[in-house]
Structure 1
């Protein structure tokens, strides 16, 4: 018996898919040469009827080649179905995962999008998560990408709530293909080089095939200082209730109050609060973040944008191999192997140090003099004009002061990461009988990351370096009794050098060396999977055979993250990041049936029903059950109706369960107490002044709670996991139709699909959000959220009493989220003139998107907000004639608005003031193909469409980019040229 080929034949048989409309329409006009049993993404049943009751869209290797992309994410995000998760343009400020490329289907979160390779799970690239790094999947090794929209947990298990992306690798390749490409942006940065090769050969007279792929890619950095729209920081006055004019009358530039020359705070003899900074010559001047100051000088703050990267430089090396060998006519062994090595380097501005980081116990007070052996000694590093004006504020009889300072002496904060991903898979597949097949496999994968950072300070050493006294006893024996030395003898023995923080770059190299605190982090993610399934035809029904598939799978996921000792303790003046480790395992079993109900009747060419159920037992959340059911009704050869409903589950990840409290510095958070008063009668006023620090602030500021810029910038918080989480549940419904009027001459090369989708998630795992937490605590009616809020109290150094110090959050099963809309896809292919014209359109209309932070809370609608545009579409147009070809891709993101929860702080704002204009991007590529070689060149974002301005502090801003870098292109116009050679 000849072995029947088993391929995932979406690209060949499902004419409804993006990227294969034209090819499928042509394929259906000719009689098949061989009947094949094939597998459809979303089903384990091998069948001659390769159609699906759920919408499937396909992207082919030709689409990938025509795009010139470095990794798959770049191409997927041009589709209206997807938004980027992590990318190299939005991860510069992340603790780990800089340069990782993940994908988010329907904007419901990367954790709800299941990425498969050849229908099987792939190891994660982000610690504590299930997110697959698409950088580890070589683009030239991909045959096609099949996207199933809708819940598929019954078929594939956890995470498939919004859908599945199945990356199908090439197979049976013979020969050698080499691809070389170079490019850069029109600004001269963001360079890109690609060199890849794929080699394949048949073995043992065609019994086997082995393919090997290697690739090296290098993408250069892009800095904010080199983009005119992102060069300077700007302010919107965020958080000033009722003053919409402050929000939208943008101040530019508006620099950080942490300046390299330092800003020093003290109380004068009259008890008045004072602060000052320096000019370039060391002259004491008033401080100004946007100038002119009182004496007419310009801004004396610091422009953080001058250091920030908006695209992380990333180098990658990929090696992949796969193969199969027929042990007999019925049984085949197969294997897959992947190794990816990635290097990235993030770069942000020098560290902003507040003296409270050095001496929290005293509220950040730094002594200007000390008692040594009963004698009062002045710190000789403190200038006369500060020493003469400072007073005793803590009652110890010694003068003191506070300061903030940008640690530019250390240079920018950098973080270099080296990430290695390895995955090996082996298995057997074959035929048990003429109509029954099997597959069994085992896989092991891991991702390791080693990261080193610079630019942080050792706060213990810094405290010693600030406690300097005159060397009156010549303890170092150099004969100089007036020089400054560190007061603590143990610190001196360890190399302590006095710190001069008064002025820009005044720290000596020796002091920098002593204070410097290099950081490190090491992570490892492991995945083990064993699975087996059988598929066949149980018995004949009047309309055809009943298809059945059944199987079982065991999986174990583990993740650990280890930081250096100073980082764990928060003693490097940065985020306190404790170690995290955890794992879980799951055993699952599934069964699936596909029943042909009717065929060859009036208005019923065929009617098929499908159903599946999967049960699993997690070591973390216990038992879970998922199911799906669908109908596929072919009215005739031109019109098909499909419907599917599914109940899916997602178990919490290792990070969601076990992450220890890790400090973060969020943006876009407004203090609800801003503007409240001692005499106000609203629930918010009452709740705010119940805090002693807020009440003290009101009393000191004429009865009104008042914040300065440093207060607003000084808030942080801790994020933590929750081992008591339970699995979230998703319910999805899709209903659509397919039109392929191939029997109508003028429309024979047209294909149209329309699908309605509705996805709801209950018990969604996530945090309610810091804004929600604050609003609930202060007048929102749920005082339990106040336990997550920590405010500074009186005598808290340079920050006003009552200002937010920490707003913490933990993972919980929230009220849920959902999305609903319509997908429209059309395609057309026709011989036109001397060549062939191909066109396709993918359009998504978002009816509704929402999030419920907790059960019973008000719905927070995201429809038409930034990142959730109501209208998105992509139009591809290509023409080939002879050896020449040209292709264009036009991507459209519709008009959006700022988050309504953010805008609630500005009741006087008009709708137009929160509007973000639509953006259109145009890509162009041309090719010239010879016998064994193809030359190609292209331009992305040809018209240099710039992103909208979304300043820091506004919800939706990506830190350091002055826009939303997840949604909009921040690189600008860029071009590339390449060469492909095949033999």
Structure 2
């Protein structure tokens, strides 16, 4: 037993030192390692080399599934988004107005983008969560199946390939289930809206003389929508207006507390008469003067477009979601079958079906002429129009008859993986797997209208028999029903049915991959064995979208879409080496070198490579210093490469005109304009400047891979004289070049000519007429123009304090200090965006927890902290008076009690002090960074049969 105990301790110490300090230390976290019988090498995230008690130089943070359950968390994205090293990617809080993204849950390490964060399941890739994308949707991972999540916040492309620039999240699923486990939880906010519930069945066991082991899980989870009207602080928003005080030195804008409806549009329809007055229509359809309530908001600019809270204009607070609803079912079945003592076959099967929907206002019209002979016009309106010489009135209207526009999403994910692994000899083992994953998305847009039918139906006249009919004879023949838009609820159901429609799109994403890893010991050095891992991988990604023909034709109000087809494949070969240099020497308890190299060949972006060098030095047993330097890459995804061409219109400045040509830097603009054949003093035609110009939005098949040069330097301190204490400090930096960024036509024209020569990525994005010189065509697409420069410090500390009489205490702190966060979309110095210290990227973020366990009772207090920040680093006193955003700390109090060995009750209060987002126009609605649910109570139970 001494041997087994020593190994168990070595593994735990290795994990602790590698992670800095595990995010939680609940009983049974590493039970699978503790039960090993003999020296078994384990694979630690960040390396494919299996090691015995050996430490990786890469910092890793561990989150356990048990801790998530104790915190009342029903979605793994929710805990990842709380990490100081992470920020919110696409989520139900941020995706409501993004038509194809409703309900998605993607995390974003270092704020570098979800596509730069690689999510793995058991060390292997998972199919993307949305069409054309590469990021994994965390809705597909059931919390009840999570043993732990290991988070590397650093470049790992040399080990795992593309998309790992910002880091890797490796989700390890449970393998230790015996019997049946029932789990249920419910979260009830103090104010209604935003309720959460989850139920799961997990079952597992060994069969066929213990050769076959299985783990099955079914999870049903639901998150209710949260509307602005569900929360006091959202129902009473804080916005901004132009400052009525226009004196010198006064800020241009000031906060405005409360609702402020738009004064020129509403649900009944409003118009401006020839007498200068504004009118609307009452419940009976009769015309009356518009009621401004407390009056128009005073001040310059567009203040007059808004009116006081009781004004009968359009109020956006009454529409949409702060958090979209989400309902999901997840089925998981993992199996292992031992062929013999040395080899086993394993499978992973996942099926996910979930629905979500976004919501926005009904369709609306701002150019909506109603002719003077319209049959639905009240007599007083006809008289007003006749008296003031109005041949038509323009009706500004929110068309609530057709219902709110909703964007319903149904996503169905299926993944099947089969593999075989085993030992080759005493020193080498292997693992091979093949998998296929498929995502099918069905999007349905409700509350839509036929644009042409709307125009036909609203244009109603009296026929010779005195009947109200549609003016257009062809429309009448097709079944047109006259539509009364003058007042609310005036339209007949037949007219609503004639105009209403829905539209949809289906999409499919397929991932096919296979991988082989061979790892073991090469030879022995005085300090230990040189270990290695060699891998080969193949992956193919395919995506397609199929919109309804109406969307392709553009006959639906405000929505168009085009079909897309795209695919690529990649072949990769990689090698890793762990080289022990010194051991058990003065100032060298151990010293090791880690090397990794990966070669990649993409069918789209071509050949590339990634590498990593890591040093791991323990001068004494209590102190370990580690450093890594690496090159990471991200290949463009299918959406960036193959997004279909869709027409758009834009107005922009031609910098080669005689007014602007002299304003470019270093004379480049004038030189390049003349080199393009434009004479000095040239100007576009007058008609060109007076019109919007047609062009296209499209993907870019010529994109190349992004490149990141990153490094980490840190230390782990685990003093032997202070058992249970650990401290890690890691300084990290990312410099990403050739980052993919979408370029508008105005930017393309400017930097085509401001560059040193015409040989640049911008000039290819537009076309000039060879005769007139006018720009006659353009494409807005992604190019490799951007860069990131991000640096910071991670600090993590944990102290476990056992006592004989008062239970066990634990203190844990994890924090990130952001030193630098710079983004340049074009490479030109004038476009550099310094975002560190802004509310999206505050200087400090931290998690703190204090736990106490006494026999069967476990209690914990946890705080999430965001440092004070500003809305804009380029703020000036004359801009506004609301730039400062205060610090923010949300406290949760949670607990659990084991009534028996088989029954555990969980409970807690989230956001215990009911802290609202800062009352600032930028973030009063959370903006994805601050909690909008408010104080909420949760209760959960786990019963093991």
Identify the residue that residue 863 of structure 1 maps to in structure 2: 836
| Structure 2 Cα separation of the partners of residues 299 and 695 of structure 1 | 39
Matched, 1:439 2:431: yes
Matched, 1:843 2:815: yes
Identify the residue that residue 883 of structure 2 maps to in structure 1: 914
What are the residue-to-residue correspondences of 1:737-748 with 2, within 5 Å? 737-742=715-720, 744=721, 747-748=722-723
Matched, 1:505 2:489: yes
| Structure 2 Cα separation of the partners of residues 428 and 279 of structure 1 | 73
Distance of aligned partners of 1:296 and 1:135 in 2 relative to their CA distance in 1, 3 Å threshold: closer
What are the residue-to-residue correspondences of 1:451-490 with 2, within 5 Å? 451-472=443-464, 481-490=465-474
1:529 is paired with a residue of what secondary structure? strand
Identify the residue that residue 604 of structure 1 maps to in structure 2: 588
Identify the residue that residue 119 of structure 1 maps to in structure 2: 123
Matched, 1:812 2:815: no
Shift of 1:865: 0.9
CA displacement, residues 338-375 of structure 1 (integer Å, 9 cap, x when unaligned): 111112232222222233xxxxxxxx6x3626xxxxxx
Identify the residue that residue 376 of structure 2 maps to in structure 1: 381
CA displacement, residues 793-841 of structure 1 (integer Å, 9 cap, x when unaligned): xxxxxxxxxxxxx999532212311310000000000113421001110
Distance of aligned partners of 1:715 and 1:151 in 2 relative to their CA distance in 1, 3 Å threshold: farther
Identify the residue that residue 372 of structure 1 maps to in structure 2: none
CA displacement, residues 218-250 of structure 1 (integer Å, 9 cap, x when unaligned): 221211111122225665247999997452242
* The one of 185, 188, 195 aligned to 2:189: 185
Shift of 1:290: 7.0
Shift of 1:635: 1.1
1:864 is paired with a residue of what secondary structure? coil
Identify the residue that residue 977 of structure 1 maps to in structure 2: 939
Aligned length: 888
What are the residue-to-residue correspondences of 1:861-940 with 2, within 5 Å? 861-900=834-873, 903=875, 908-909=878-879, 913-931=882-900, 932-940=902-910
Shift of 1:515: 0.8
| Structure 2 Cα separation of the partners of residues 572 and 415 of structure 1 | 14
What are the residue-to-residue correspondences of 1:177-326 with 2, within 5 Å? 177-231=181-235, 235-237=239-241, 245-250=251-256, 252-256=258-262, 257-264=264-271, 268=274, 276-278=279-281, 282-286=286-290, 288=292, 291-292=295-296, 298-326=310-338
Distance of aligned partners of 1:908 and 1:663 in 2 relative to their CA distance in 1, 3 Å threshold: farther
| Structure 2 Cα separation of the partners of residues 59 and 278 of structure 1 | 59
Distance of aligned partners of 1:129 and 1:894 in 2 relative to their CA distance in 1, 3 Å threshold: same
CA displacement, residues 844-865 of structure 1 (integer Å, 9 cap, x when unaligned): 0000001101123332111011
Q: CA RMSD in A?
A: 4.1
TM-score by length of 2: 0.86
Distance of aligned partners of 1:552 and 1:758 in 2 relative to their CA distance in 1, 3 Å threshold: same
* The one of 705, 709, 717 aligned to 1:731: 709
| Structure 2 Cα separation of the partners of residues 866 and 717 of structure 1 | 35
Shift of 1:907: 6.2
Identify the residue that residue 107 of structure 1 maps to in structure 2: 111
1:518 is paired with a residue of what secondary structure? strand
Shift of 1:723: 1.8
1:840 is paired with a residue of what secondary structure? strand
Shift of 1:204: 2.8
CA displacement, residues 160-211 of structure 1 (integer Å, 9 cap, x when unaligned): 0010000011114222211111221100322222111211111233223111
Shift of 1:567: 2.5
Structure 2: runs of 5 or more not aligned: 298-303, 654-658, 665-680, 767-776
The answer (yes or no) to whether the contact 2:261–2:309 under 8 Å persists in 1 is: no
Shift of 1:156: 0.6
2:415 is paired with a residue of what secondary structure? strand
Structure 1: runs of 5 or more not aligned: 356-363, 370-377, 473-480, 674-678, 698-713, 790-805
1:98 is paired with a residue of what secondary structure? coil
Matched, 1:829 2:800: yes
Identify the residue that residue 154 of structure 1 maps to in structure 2: 158
The answer (yes or no) to whether the contact 2:259–2:317 under 8 Å persists in 1 is: no
Distance of aligned partners of 1:576 and 1:12 in 2 relative to their CA distance in 1, 3 Å threshold: farther
The answer (yes or no) to whether the contact 1:279–1:300 under 8 Å persists in 2 is: no
Matched, 1:95 2:67: no
| Structure 2 Cα separation of the partners of residues 399 and 883 of structure 1 | 81
* The one of 558, 561, 566 aligned to 2:545: 561
Identify the residue that residue 363 of structure 2 maps to in structure 1: 351
1:89 is paired with a residue of what secondary structure? coil
Shift of 1:143: 0.8
Matched, 1:140 2:152: no
Distance of aligned partners of 1:405 and 1:527 in 2 relative to their CA distance in 1, 3 Å threshold: same
Shift of 1:879: 0.5
| Structure 2 Cα separation of the partners of residues 664 and 283 of structure 1 | 39
The answer (yes or no) to whether the contact 1:820–1:847 under 8 Å persists in 2 is: yes
The answer (yes or no) to whether the contact 2:292–2:308 under 8 Å persists in 1 is: no
CA displacement, residues 599-648 of structure 1 (integer Å, 9 cap, x when unaligned): 11110011111111111111111111111111000111100000001101
Distance of aligned partners of 1:681 and 1:814 in 2 relative to their CA distance in 1, 3 Å threshold: closer
Distance of aligned partners of 1:464 and 1:8 in 2 relative to their CA distance in 1, 3 Å threshold: farther
CA displacement, residues 763-812 of structure 1 (integer Å, 9 cap, x when unaligned): 111225799789989999999999999xxxxxxxxxxxxxxxx9995322
2:882 is paired with a residue of what secondary structure? helix
* The one of 318, 329, 353 aligned to 1:341: 353
* The one of 643, 650, 674 aligned to 2:627: 643
| Structure 1 Cα separation of the partners of residues 61 and 821 of structure 2 | 22
Shift of 1:391: 9.7
The answer (yes or no) to whether the contact 1:182–1:977 under 8 Å persists in 2 is: yes
Identify the residue that residue 700 of structure 1 maps to in structure 2: none
Distance of aligned partners of 1:127 and 1:693 in 2 relative to their CA distance in 1, 3 Å threshold: same
Identify the residue that residue 757 of structure 1 maps to in structure 2: 732
| Structure 2 Cα separation of the partners of residues 118 and 735 of structure 1 | 27
The answer (yes or no) to whether the contact 2:10–2:53 under 8 Å persists in 1 is: no
CA displacement, residues 102-144 of structure 1 (integer Å, 9 cap, x when unaligned): 1111111000000000000001111111111111111111111
Identify the residue that residue 358 of structure 1 maps to in structure 2: none
What are the residue-to-residue correspondences of 1:305-704 with 2, within 5 Å? 305-355=317-367, 366=369, 368=371, 378-383=373-378, 399-472=391-464, 481-660=465-644
Distance of aligned partners of 1:727 and 1:680 in 2 relative to their CA distance in 1, 3 Å threshold: closer
Distance of aligned partners of 1:382 and 1:809 in 2 relative to their CA distance in 1, 3 Å threshold: farther
Distance of aligned partners of 1:297 and 1:218 in 2 relative to their CA distance in 1, 3 Å threshold: closer
| Structure 2 Cα separation of the partners of residues 641 and 724 of structure 1 | 42
Distance of aligned partners of 1:218 and 1:251 in 2 relative to their CA distance in 1, 3 Å threshold: closer
Distance of aligned partners of 1:251 and 1:568 in 2 relative to their CA distance in 1, 3 Å threshold: farther
TM-score by length of 1: 0.83
The answer (yes or no) to whether the contact 2:282–2:488 under 8 Å persists in 1 is: no
Distance of aligned partners of 1:87 and 1:292 in 2 relative to their CA distance in 1, 3 Å threshold: same
Between stretches 931-940 and 635-644, larger displacement belongs to: 931-940
| Structure 1 Cα separation of the partners of residues 386 and 873 of structure 2 | 47
Distance of aligned partners of 1:535 and 1:238 in 2 relative to their CA distance in 1, 3 Å threshold: farther
